[in-house]
Amino acid sequence: MPLHSCQRLSPTAVLGLWQLTETPETLWPLLPQPAAYQALMPATADAARQAQWLAGRVLIHALLPQLMAEPPTDLVVHNDATGRPWLAGNGHGLTMSLSHSGTWVAAVLSLGGRVGVDIEIIRDKAQRLAGKFLAADEWAAAQAAAADGPAHYTLLWSAKETLYKLAAQRGIIFKTQLLLGDFAPQQSGEIPATLVLAGVETRHCICYSQPAPGYVLTYCHEPAA
């Protein structure tokens, strides 16, 4: 299906969701410069992975007109050494973040600043691995607050994934450098977060919602100063 939703986060940023129903064959014609993307497609990706990869790039190109009256025609989504996507070409300082899980693809596109987004299928994996990515106080709070264990722990994992993408650095330890504050779990809301890099703590706000049954979405947008 086409673009599922587009939400304006600020005058300079948009959040887009794509519900993936297409095959790779039907997604290719939706991309500009398909030859450039054919050279970037991961060689080991199976058909499902190819569809997610392509849908993410189609989504970014679908969001561009929301921020630019006449988007440059030479823009191509690449990945840097940390795996973070970026737009090669005359991108005018555009920043972006991409995520996909199951049949959903999410993206945040911004004119500068920092962004992060993550979408996850709700499952029990995050709860089983909680001790590996949650600090002791986070784990204690989750055990006390989680009425729906898998959904709550998936939300916590997703929030840390979004903060990790915002940091855009490799080697970050989720348990000690990506910290989540107290919040009352709801269908949608905000989670206070702290990023610890080189001994310096910075404060952030992670927004969350459930865009579809069985999924959780988190994102963060911080405009350029």
Instruction: State yes or no: pLDDT of 1 exceeds 70.
Output: no
Residue 82 pLDDT: 76
Once rounded to an integer, what is the mean pLDDT over residues 197-210?
96
E strand or H helix at 144: helix 136-145
- Residues belonging to the binding site are 49, 57, 99-100, 118-120, 161, 165
Our count of domains for the chain comes to 2
For residue 14, the domain's CATH number is 3.90.470.20
Residues 105 and 56 in one domain: yes
pTM of the shown model: 0.94
CA distance 193 to 203: 6
Three-class secondary structure of residue 17 per DSSP: strand
**Does pLDDT of 164 surpass 70?**
yes
**Residue numbers of the domain that contains 55:** 3-112
- Cβ-count burial 189-224 (b if 16+ within 10 Å, e if not): eebebebeeeeeeeebebbbbebbeebbbbbbbbee
Average pLDDT, the chain: 93
DSSP single-letter state for residue 217: E
Task: Look at residue 23 in the predicted model and tell me its pLDDT.
Answer: 95
Of 62, 86, 112, the residue that ends a domain is 112
Binding-site residues for CoA: 49, 57, 99-100, 118, 161, 165
Instruction: Show which of 112, 141, 170 is a domain's final residue.
Output: 112
**86 and 131 both lie in a single domain:** no
Give 126-156 pLDDT, tens digit per residue. Answer: 999 999 999 999 999 998 876 679 999 999 9
Q: What is the pLDDT of residues 75-124, one digit of tens each?
A: 999 988 777 898 888 767 899 999 999 999 999 999 999 999 999 999 99
Over 80: is that where the pLDDT of 66 sits?
Answer: yes
Residues belonging to the binding site for Mg(2+) are 118-120
Domain boundary among 112, 138, 168: 112
